Amino acid sequence: MDAGGGASSSDARKVKKRSFDQMVFVNRTVTMEDIQCYGFDMDYTLAVYKSPDYESLGFEMIRDRMVSVGYPRELLSYTYDPSFPTRGLVIDTTSGNLLKVDSNGNILVCSHGFRFLKGRDVHDYYPNKFIQRDDTDRFHVLNTLFNLSETYFYSCLVDFFTRCNRYTNLPKGFQHGDLFMSYRSMFQDVRDTMDFIHDTGILKERTIKNMEKYITRDPNLPVLLSRIKAVAKVFLATNSDYSYTEAIMNYLLENKPTLGGEKKSWRSFFDLIVVDTKKPLFFAEGTVLRQVDTDTGKLRMGTYTGDLHAGTVYSGGSSDVICDLLDVRGKDILYVGDHIFGDILKSKKRQGWRTFLVVPELTKELQVWDQKKSLFEELKRLDVYLAKLYKHLDSGSQECPDIRTIQTRMKVLTYRMDMSYGQMGSLLRSGARQTLFASQLLRYADLYSSACINLLHYPFNYLFMAPPVLMPHESAAQHAADLALSELACTNNMVMGRN
């Protein structure tokens, strides 16, 4: 739900109506007047990478690296298809399947390579259409936007080896002579390759060489940070190293000086800057806090134990150190990030920070929802109809309603809705059922929006008010009360009409 409250009626008349893609949505009430400190991640939060160009770059680097270390050259024919992957998918490293599940592990969508499995095929792999999500040795959740490239390449691998007649398909991988390629080893190779292109800096080098192609430069970002800094403390906490952070933030925040004015350093927008944070470890015990020499990018020896100094950049540390240096605690802080696990879940569970999740996919989700909401409305009507069929049955009832036609129609509607978003469907739902990603968003993100820049559309004393949520028994009681009021109103109208 979009926020409510916060501004006076006279101020509200002056504010233009926000479009859907400018809105901030609320899971738990946040009084912005109480926020004393704002924290920001960099990648995919302040630095918005252009999709699908950036995912395509990552895919090509993974693909080329995998071929260079011995994978078949035929893989070079694959190109990135943005319509296939979405965040929040689960890779089954035993069977090679890509799964979309709900919060309990119930399977919503299942694919093997690019072949989508239905009915009996899914049952053969998962007899209960269910997975044990806590079996993290077998099931790996791919929650970040950086994961999209590797998600798609893993599907390419499974697709290639499944169709290549040189390899024999086995339950846990592929055989070629005395060589066995397991789904697990393939997944580990993709993970290692993704780590390689990040750790060696080759992806960052390509990004810096062509920032206009890969990064959105929003002229309102300096405006937002300046306005926040006028009312609260601001810090940057990123897993990126200093040299990359310097290049990206320079590009985003340092404009040419106006006539007679001075050029403003990007570091001046923040009270505290911490690089190499190693989140999510940052939200637990953390690492050694060191000062960064901003002239050379090198770290100074020893653990930093002094006070906070303007313009100083630090490396490592922990969320506790952030609180100490800025003299803020828990709910004083609103932390803005894109990583549901590394940024939002851990900062919420371990520190009690208020959280703002950036969900760039929300722009498309809202567009499709607006265009296809009639399908969802029909799904809801069918749900109500099914409920009515069973409403007056009890343990003595012998008849069993035939609902096969209704169930078939509901499956058709769900499929049509899913395909409107992409091959794997919506990030947040499958028909009327919410995904694992959606359940985590609802549980751990106090606020969420398609971009952090949308904070610019709200005053900093705003009251983001969460809607009241009724439990099923409360909804039933409320529905009964509403019916009684409706019947009373009808009776009164009839009496008045007679008079």
- pLDDT tens for 154-207 read 999 999 999 999 999 999 999 999 999 999 999 999 999 999 999 999 999 999
Q: From the CB of residue 122, how many other CB atoms can be counted at a distance below 10 Å? A: 18
- pLDDT band, residue 12 (cuts 50/70/90): very low
Q: Cα separations (Å) of 231 from 33, 34, 67, 207, 459?
A: 9, 11, 52, 33, 11
Tokens of 387: 């409920």
Among the ranges given (199-213, 386-400, 424-438, 473-487), the one the predictor scored with the smallest mean pLDDT: 473-487
| pLDDT at position 20 | 86
Mean pLDDT on 133-149: 94
The tokens describing 66, both together, are 């995998």
Rounded Cα distance, 238 and 150, in Å? 21
Look at residue 7 in the predicted model and tell me its pLDDT.
46
Catalytic site residue 43? yes
What average pLDDT does the segment 115-132 reach?
Answer: 96
Which residue among 41, 189, 276, 332 is the active-site one? 41
pLDDT over threshold 60, residue 3:
no
What pLDDT is recorded for position 6? 47
**Which helix (H) or strand (E) is 225 found in, with range?**
helix 221-231
Residue 301 has what pLDDT?
82
Of all residues in the chain, the percent with pLDDT exceeding 90 is 72
The answer to whether 354 touches 333, Cβ cutoff 8 Å, is yes
Q: Which of 2, 11, 34, 43 is catalytic?
A: 43
CB 353 within 8 A of CB 331: yes
Q: What is residue 111's predicted lDDT score, i.e. its pLDDT?
A: 98
State what percent of residues in the chain have pLDDT above 70: 91
> Which residue's structure tokens are 């060696």?
200
Tokens found for residue 28:
């738990």
pLDDT for 114 = 98
**324 carries an active-site annotation:** no
Give the max Cα distance, the chain.
94
Q: Can you give the pLDDT at residue 496?
A: 60
**Bridge partners, 48 (sequence order):** 216
Reported as a single tens digit per residue, the pLDDT across 365-415 is: 999 989 988 998 999 899 889 988 888 888 888 888 899 999 999 999 999
Torsion over CA: 37, 42, 45, 48 (sign): positive
CA distance 102 to 106: 5
90-102 as b/e: b if 16+ CB within 10 A:
bbbbbbbbbbbbb
pLDDT higher than 70, residue 272: yes
Handedness of CA 205, 211, 213, 215 (dihedral sign): positive
Question: How far is residue 14's CA from residue 345's CA, in Å, rounded to a whole number?
Answer: 37
* Per-chain mean pLDDT for the chain: 90
Cα distances from 121 to residues 117, 165, 404, in angstroms, run 6, 22, 20
Residue with tokens 């991640």: 41
**pTM for the structure as a whole:** 0.89
Categorize the per-residue pLDDT at 256 as very low, low, confident or very high, splitting at 50, 70 and 90.
low
The pLDDT assigned to 263 comes to 74
User: In 3-state terms, what secondary structure has residue 174?
Assistant: strand
Look at residue 148 in the predicted model and tell me its pLDDT: 97
What number is the average pLDDT over the span 353-365?
95
Amino acid at 236: L
Neighbours of 235 (CB within 10 A): 21
The one-character DSSP state at 298 is: P
pLDDT given for residue 477 in this prediction: 73
Sorting pLDDT into bands at 50, 70 and 90, what band is 309?
confident
Return the pLDDT at 9: 46
Query: What is the pLDDT at residue 483?
Result: 61
Which tens digit of pLDDT belongs to each residue from 37-82? 999 999 999 999 999 999 999 999 999 999 999 999 999 999 999 9
Of 172, 169, 202, 176, give the one whose Cα is nearest residue 65: 202
Structure tokens at 117: 């499995």
Query: Which pLDDT value is given to residue 344?
Result: 78
How confident is the model at residue 62, as a pLDDT?
98
Contact residues for 80 (Cβ-Cβ < 8 A; gap 6+): 52, 55, 56, 59, 60, 149, 152
